[in-house]
Structure 1
């Protein structure tokens, strides 16, 4: 039977002693080179890293925990891996963490997190990570209160449901909502509807406030009939738009609180025999990849997810190392004008399709 090579699946784990012998240095030097703590000459560090890579060395996190040392691992806690936006954030976070020669652990909680989960998830992640990033749109207030009492470094990404003393890095949802509606106003629309997402995230409410801000600035009162409820899913956008188009005076434009609901809105407009944007303009929020591939291509507000993710990682590292930190950072969204928005229909001209046919 062939002898197993050091570092292979069949051999004992590679130790610091093995790396030290391979690199021709002391175990202490290897420890400093791999942890980044303490001075090591750059040539020596390079030799140690090369030896560790050649031998397939993997740090023993459990041993580091027992010594109270840093694990060089960042944890990410999420509860909706089906979300395109959350997956994009995770991808950008992963790149940023790797750039700092650290590892990433992702914990997906399939339930809305409340204070009853504190003894499970938090203890697991606390033992494995130097700090935590939370991408949790569905956080109960009791859970936030518990997190505020924790000493573990942590940062919330895109959280805006309630005020918190925890550091938050997010997009400016209110300003983005205002830009979306201003774009429609500039195209001549006055009957502008809003389809909101799930109330528990906070993001939809902020985008709705921007919607109201823009209308107020234009001297237009918010018509409650033009504000419809959704859940950030495409089907809810379809259903909400059906109700909006059934109004005696339907909207000529729809601002959906995210792209997926905007897709549903466009489907509903077509299902009513109307055209986008000739009869009804539609604009979304987020600029997920599919927004530029649907027909017509969706006008939307692009969230700077990469910048948000990188800033969140930087903020967490500052807190881990004890460097000066900031409490909140907001990034503006960018208006992306494509094919789903156009000039408002001429007043008094009946739209083509089922509504027009119903009048004959």
Structure 2
């Protein structure tokens, strides 16, 4: 038996009683079509189950009505929070979302693939937490495709960036620990590759300096944004002759690694040692005890990124080069007074 051919634009035009060109304009939004014609063509397309050929539209240079979201770590809770928020915002502008995992596609011989990806597959791209080589960034900057980046801090770039305030967020976290009477405060670094950890370390150092406390290199360890590495680093911190009474980790995932090392040592959180993270991933509120952390507004940042991208897709001027959102200190039960110290006045935060 001969296989039945799929529904084509010709079939839709015939049922709607219009020309193929008119049907194409009515469905694509390119060119003028009356509301009556649009309704008639759309009804015919729905009745026939017509699905537009996105590849054909791409080859003709037409809009695809697709926004690409490029990520490099699908296992990251932070990336997932941003992708979820972006999907909601993309729906609001009547576009579709396509997720591209660029892990292992950051440069070198992958430039051709990147170039192909940038042209025609989608109307614009949002990069979420990119860890990219300098040549990869240079390729993006030379692209004519509308691009917006989220939380890129490694280098200055001509591309628009939506980001959170890492420096002041970290300063607030450490200042809060100082208010609780802590003076031996450790910092667990993340990877320097994205620049976020360096900014959070700058805020950590600034808060200590404001309190007249000298920076102690012994109290800074590597975590590389990984739970296991943070656990190993915390073991070393707890083995010091004068161990910290509080730990500020540059991410929630690392803070949870700190939890494991602290319990392994037989210590209590926060009675013996306090812990603060950064990001407020879903696991933070469910940890035992619930984790005090810094929150970046994922939804507001996603909205700003999509709005900025849509301006550029439409050829309108961008709002500004860098859009920065303040972080919020969320106090939970993983922080308390320093051992043998009375808590000072709590401020700048909300209790959850």
CA positional deviation for 1:12: 2.7
1:162–1:185 Cα change, 3 Å: same
Q: Which of 165, 178, 197 is equivalent to 2:158?
A: 165
1:33-182 to 2 correspondences below 5 Å:
33-42=26-35, 44-111=37-104, 113-182=106-175
Alpha-carbon distance change, 113 to 95 in structure 1, aligned in 2, over 3 angstroms: same
- The correspondence of residues 144-223 of structure 1 with structure 2, limited to 5 A, is 144-223=137-216
The Cα shift of 1:66 comes to 2.6
Q: Which moved more, 1:18-27 or 1:204-213?
A: 18-27
Residue 344 of structure 1 corresponds to: 338
Using the alignment, how far apart are the partners of 2:85 and 2:51 within structure 1? 24
The 1:110–1:47 alpha-carbon spacing in structure 2 relative to 1, beyond 3 Å, is same
Equivalent residue for 1:330? 324
Q: Secondary structure at the match of 1:306?
A: helix
**2:269 — aligned with what?**
276
Per the alignment, do residues 110 and 11 of structure 1 end up closer, same or farther by CA in structure 2, a change over 3 Å counting? farther
**Partner of 2:186: helix, strand, or coil?**
strand
Contact persistence 2:223–2:229 (CA under 8 A): yes
Specify whether residues 213 and 32 from structure 1 end up closer, same or farther in structure 2 by C-alpha distance, changes over 3 A only. farther
| Aligned with 1:308 (options 301, 313, 323) | 301
Could you tell me how far 1:273 is from its partner in structure 2?
A: 1.2
Match status 1:287 vs 2:307: no
After superposition, the C-alpha distances for 1:128-179 in whole angstroms (9 at most, x for unaligned) are: 1112221243111121122211111111111111111111111111121111
Which position in structure 1 is the counterpart of 2:221? 228
Moved more, 277-286 or 136-145: 136-145
Number of residue equivalences:
340
Q: Distance in 2 between matches of 1:203 and 1:309?
A: 18
CA distance in 1, matches of 2:4, 2:121: 24
Question: Which structure 1 residue ranges, 4+ long, deviate > 6 Å from structure 2?
Answer: none
Match of 2:254 among 250, 254, 261: 261
Higher mean C-alpha deviation, range 64-73 or range 23-32: 23-32
For residue 249 of structure 1, what is the aligned residue in structure 2?
242
RMSD (CA atoms): 2.0
Whether contact under 8 Å (1:93, 1:309) holds in the other structure is yes
CA–CA separation in structure 1 for the residues paired with 2:72 and 2:31? 38
TM normalised by structure 1 equals: 0.88
Which residue number in structure 2 is paired with residue 356 of structure 1?
none
| Structure 1 Cα separation of the partners of residues 277 and 5 of structure 2 | 54
**Relative to structure 1, is the Cα distance of residues 107 and 188 closer, same or farther in structure 2, using a 3 angstrom cutoff?**
same
Unpaired runs of 5+ residues, structure 2, are 342-352
